[in-house]
Amino acid sequence: MKLTASPFIAAAALLSVSAPAAAETFAGPYAGVQAGWSKNKIGGAQTDIGRADIGRSRDATTAGVFAGYNYKATDRIVLSAEAGFSMGFDDQVTRIRGANLASIDPEYAFDLGARAGYLVTDNTLLYVRGGYENMRAAVRLTNAAGARYGKDVFDGWSLGGGVERAINDRISARLEYRYSDLGEGSSKFERHQALFGVAYHF
């Protein structure tokens, strides 16, 4: 699925808008929504109904919600705990070889993570993040043993970073890149995401 650059250009413009001092924006609880680009890259994955050897990737869109808590350790250092829920759209990864078919269709994901950020200005936070991700998917296999369908769970870790800009003392916008490794053992399942989010700070 092809995505235009327009939403990300608009997001970058929003982040660059001058905002008044927002010293308390990055302290306390917050919740928000986010959306963006996602690439699922699947080599081979061991599933509950058999091994899915795919060797394919797919670009798609993703959207979700998140909530967390910011703690200002110093005037410039911000530490955060965050949880999120997301869903992909048109992100099924499939490979067909003759009469054999292997398909993994991500349905939704949960993540738990932590952020460590530095306030380069009172309004702009640069941060890195890491955490745990759990994704639920539908699996389909067709081979000499017949056609099989099932559900499976893929989990692992994620790393990333981004920039968050306070628009005022309650609203912030952010751009973030995230890499997730959902493979285990001989499985290879990677996910790359570029996300734009808007948060409300309580």
The rounded distance, in Å, linking the Cα atoms of 41 and 118 is 32
Q: Can you give the pTM of this predicted structure? A: 0.84
In this prediction, residue 4 carries a pLDDT of: 46
Evaluate the CA torsion angle 177, 132, 112, 50 in order and state its sign.
Answer: positive
Q: How far apart are CA 6 and CA 167, in angstroms?
A: 20
Q: Output the pLDDT for position 72.
A: 95
What letter would DSSP give residue 3? Answer: -
Cα 185 to its chain centre, rounded Å, is 22
Classify 119 as helix, strand or coil.
strand
What pLDDT is stored for residue 199 in this prediction? 98
DSSP string, 123-183: SEEEEEEEEEEEEEEEEEEEETTEEEEEEEEEEEEEEEEEEEEESSSSEEEEEEEEEEE--
What's residue 13's pLDDT? 53
Question: What was the pLDDT predicted at 43?
Answer: 92
pLDDT at 148: 93
- Domain parsing of the chain, residue ranges: 6-201
- Determine the pLDDT at residue 8: 53
In order along its 202 residues, the chain shows pLDDT tens digits of 444 455 555 555 545 544 444 458 899 999 999 999 999 999 988 888 988 899 999 999 999 999 999 999 999 999 999 999 999 999 999 999 888 999 999 999 999 999 999 999 999 999 999 999 999 999 999 988 789 999 999 999 999 999 999 999 999 999 999 999 998 877 899 999 999 999 999 9
pLDDT at position 22 is: 47
Q: What per-residue confidence (pLDDT) applies to 1? A: 41
Amino acid at 2: K
Closest by CA to 197, choosing from 178, 174, 169, 171, is: 174
Span 6-201 CATH architecture: Beta Barrel (2.40)
